[in-house]
Amino acid sequence: VDGSHWLSMREVLDVLRQRGHEVVVVAPEATLHIKPSPNLVMKKHWVPLSQEEILKEFHEFLYTLFEEVSFPERFLKTYERMKRLGNLSVTAC
């Protein structure tokens, strides 16, 4: 999964590779953090999302966090954006 899960997993995969294991990562074509590396074999799969769509949703989520509106409005907007990002993750899987 893209995001913090991947950033944590990357270190584990590097250690496995150093210990002689072959590491194969299956990732969506559109992703924020999962990038090719000489330490692993990357297999990409098609998803009905573009890189631009993912970046747009992520930036809109960040904007919502710092928007100057009332707390209840920010809470609801943040909740809706988190649902959208969650749906994008499910789509990418």
21: pLDDT confidence band, cut at 50, 70 and 90?
A: very high
Write out the DSSP string of 50-82.
-HHHHHHHHHHHHHHHH--S-HHHHHHHHHHHH
Q: What is the mean pLDDT of residues 52-81?
A: 90
* 88 and 66 inside one domain: yes
Domain that holds residue 61: 51-92
Residues 61 and 32 placed together within one structural domain of the fold: no
Question: Based on the domain organization, do 37 and 58 belong to the same domain?
Answer: no
Give the total number of structural domains in the chain. 2
10 and 41 together in one domain: yes
pTM score: 0.66
The CA-CA-CA angle for residues 58, 39, 21, to 5°, reads 120
Residue 77 confidence class, pLDDT cut points 50, 70, 90: very high
* Residue 70 predicted with pLDDT over 90: yes
What local confidence, expressed as pLDDT, does residue 1 receive?
A: 66
Cα separation values, 56 from 5, 16, 52, 59, 81, Å: 20, 34, 6, 5, 11
* 10 and 37 together in one domain: yes
The whole-number pLDDT of residue 76 equals 93
